Amino acid sequence: MNLSSALERTKRDFLVTNQYLDNLVNFFEKEAREGLQKDSERSLPMLPSFVTQIPNGSEKGLFLAADLGGSNFRVCSVHLNGDRSHELKQMKWRVPNETMKGSAAKFWTYLAKCIQDFLTEHHPEQSSFELDGNSYLKMGFTFSFPIRQTALNSGTLIRWTKGYAIEDAVGTDVCESLQTAVRALNLPVDVVAIVNDTVGCLLARSYETGSSAQTLVGCILGTGTNAAYSEKISRIPKLATYDSVPKSAKVMVVNTEWGSFDNNVKFLPNTEYDQALDLMTPNPRFHMFEKRVSGMFLGEILRRVLESFLKKGTIFTSAKTSLRKDADILTPWSIDTSFLSYSAADGSSDLTGIQQELTKIGISDSSLEERQAVKEICHVVALRSARLVAGIIAGLLKMTKAFEKFEVVDIGMDGAIIEFYPHYEEMVREALRSLRFVGANEKRITIGISRDGSGIGAALCAAMAG
Ligand code: BGC
C-alpha cells in the first residue's frame, strides 16, 4: 500500500463521527446510571467520595496535601486564606520505577520519607517529634487510582492503573497504610482525608470561583483521565449499602472513574493498535476508555501506527536501512505523548520541528510527504481522544440535567493534555457543538484550568474533615 492510501485508511480507523458521538452520550448515561445502582467488577465504578460539601471560597487554615499521580509524588502545604486565595509550598519526586512495582511496605515508607523531607525543608517547626496530637498538621491525601471508599478517611485500593503494579497493596486501606508509615517515622501528621485527583480538582475550582459559579465537574486529562461530579444522594441507590453517610448530607461528589468506561469495548473504537497496546499494559481489559484518551497512551498509539507503516515499507523508506534495532520507534512505550503536541505546534512549511522529533526516535531522514503524514497521524490520534472526551462530558451533563439547572455550566480541568496539547480544548468544544444534546449550549460551558487542583483540593478536604 502506498503512503497516501495507508494514511487514508488510518484516518478512517480513527474517525469519530457526529452520529457515533450522539450515541456515545446515551451509552455513557446508561453505564453511569448502572454504576450508581450497584458495584460490579467490569462496570463504570461511579465511586462515592464521601465529600458532601462543596467549598465556597471562605475556607481557612494551614493544611498538608500529599498527591500521588501517574508519575510523581508531591507534598505541599497549603494556606487557605478564606478569600478564594491560597499560598502553596511544595516538593516533588519522580517515583522510582522499582518502587512503582515493588512491595507495599517499601512503597509506603518511600512516601512517608518524602513527607519527612518536606517538613524538614519547609516546616521545621512541625518536624519536631515532641509536638502533642493537637498541634499535628492535618493532611489530605490525593490518591489518583480507583479506591472503594467507606468514609472520608478510609478506602481500599481496587486496582492500580497508569503503570503501577504493587500487588500486595491491592485490597488494603490506603489512608491507613500512609498513616502507619508516617507514624513509623514519628511525623506529627494526621492523614484525615483521602481524595481522588478529580474530586480535588472539583473542590479546588469551586474554592477559586467561590459562590460566583457552580462548578459541576472536575476532570483530569493527564497521564490518566477521569472526572468527578456532584450528585444528589437520593440518586445514588448503592449508597444505602455504605455506612457513614452524614444524615444531613444532600449531595455527594462521585468519582466516575470514567477511564473504565466501556471496559467490555462494546462501543469504543477498537483499532488493531488499541488491541495490541492493551495487551502490553499491567491492567489488560480494564480502563479501556483511558487507553484511547490519556497522556500515558497517545504516544504509544502513535508509535504503533508508525511502526506498522514502517514495517510494511509504507513510510521512512530511505531511513529504514540504517535504523537501529533498539530505535525508539521500534520500542514499546518509547514515544512520549509530547511528540503529538510538538507535531501540532509545528507550523513551519518544511515541518522541521517534526523532523527533530523523528530524529529522537531513530528516523534521521524523511521526506516532506512523510512528515506531513506523521503530522496527520498525530492529529487524528489526538482528535479521537478529544472527541471521545467531549462525548463523555456531554453524557455527564445530560445525566445531571446541567443545562436545565444552571445558566453557566463550569468545568474544572487539569493535566498535561489539556494544558500542553495545542487547541485540545477547542477540539473538545467543537465536538460538543456538533452534538445533538449540546449544540449551541456549548457557549454556556466554562472550562477553567485548576493548576494546583490536587494539592488545594486535598487541603480543602482536610479542612472539611473537621
Ligand atoms: C485513575 C483515576 C485518576 C485518573 C487521573 C486514572 O488512571 O484510575 O483514579 O483520577 O487516572 O489521574
pLDDT tens-digit readout, 42-64: 889 999 999 999 998 999 999 99
Tell me which of 346 and 282 has the higher pLDDT. 346
Residue 242 has pLDDT above 90, yes or no: no
Per residue in 174-203, pLDDT tens?
999 999 999 999 999 999 999 999 999 999
Alpha-carbon gap, residue 177 to 112, rounded angstroms: 10
Mean pLDDT, residues 441-463 taken together: 93
| Residues with C-beta less than 6 Å from any ligand 1 atom | 69-70, 144-146, 161-162, 196-198, 220, 222, 224-226, 257, 259, 290
- Residue % of the chain over a pLDDT of 70: 98
Instruction: Give, using CA atoms, the residue closest to atom 8 of ligand 1.
Output: 145
Alpha-carbon gap, residue 60 to 306, rounded angstroms: 52
Residue 130 has pLDDT above 70, yes or no: no
Residue 155 has pLDDT above 80, yes or no: yes
Alpha-carbon gap, residue 204 to 450, rounded angstroms: 7
Identify which of 161, 202, 287, 450 to mutate to test ligand 1's pocket (most ligand atoms within 8 A of the CB).
Answer: 161
Identify which of 196, 261, 419 to mutate to test ligand 1's pocket (most ligand atoms within 8 A of the CB).
Answer: 196
Alpha-carbon gap, residue 9 to 12, rounded angstroms: 5
Instruction: Give, using CA atoms, the residue closest to atom 7 of ligand 1.
Output: 224
Which atom of ligand 1 is nearest the CA belonging to 146?
9
Distance of CA 290 from the midpoint of ligand 1 (Å): 9
- Provide the pLDDT for residue 127: 64
Residue 307 has pLDDT above 80, yes or no: yes
Residue 74 has pLDDT above 90, yes or no: yes
Distance of CA 162 from the midpoint of ligand 1 (Å): 8
Name which of 329, 392, 408 is nearest 362 in CA terms. Answer: 329
- Provide the pLDDT for residue 169: 98
- Residue % of the chain over a pLDDT of 90: 87
**Contact present, 415 and 226 (Cβ < 8 Å):** no
As annotated, the active-site residues are 144, 159, 197
Provide the residue type at 23 as one letter: N
Provide the residue type at 300 as one letter: E
State the average pLDDT for the chain: 94
Show the cell assigned to 137: 498538621
Distance of CA 255 from the midpoint of ligand 1 (Å): 10
Residue 212 has pLDDT above 80, yes or no: no
Alpha-carbon gap, residue 95 to 394, rounded angstroms: 35
Which atom of ligand 1 is nearest the CA belonging to 162?
7
pLDDT class for 12, splitting at 50, 70, 90? very high
Mean pLDDT, residues 311-327 taken together: 92
Per residue in 383-429, pLDDT tens?
999 999 999 999 999 999 999 999 999 999 999 999 999 999 999 99
Name which of 258, 269, 276, 205 is nearest 455 in CA terms. Answer: 205
In the block, cell 513527607 appears at 115
In the block, cell 449499602 appears at 241
Name which of 100, 77, 99 is nearest 88 in CA terms. Answer: 77
Distance of CA 72 from the midpoint of ligand 1 (Å): 13
Distance of CA 148 from the midpoint of ligand 1 (Å): 13
As to burial, measured by CB atoms within 10 angstroms (0-12 exposed, 13-18 middle, 19+ buried), residue 172 is middle
Mean pLDDT, residues 320-326 taken together: 90
Per residue in 214-227, pLDDT tens?
899 999 999 999 99
CA-based max dimension of the chain:
73
- Provide the pLDDT for residue 243: 72
Distance of CA 123 from the midpoint of ligand 1 (Å): 30
Instruction: Give, using CA atoms, the residue closest to atom 3 of ligand 1.
Output: 144
Adjacent-strand bridge partners of 141: 66, 194
Identify which of 49, 149, 220, 260 to mutate to test ligand 1's pocket (most ligand atoms within 8 A of the CB).
Answer: 220
Q: CB count, 10 Å around CB of 426?
A: 10
Mean pLDDT, residues 450-461 taken together: 91
Alpha-carbon gap, residue 128 to 230, rounded angstroms: 39
Residue 360 has pLDDT above 80, yes or no: yes
Predicted TM-score (pTM) of the model is: 0.94
Conformational region of residue 141, where left means phi above 0, alpha means psi within -120 to 50, and beta covers everything else: beta
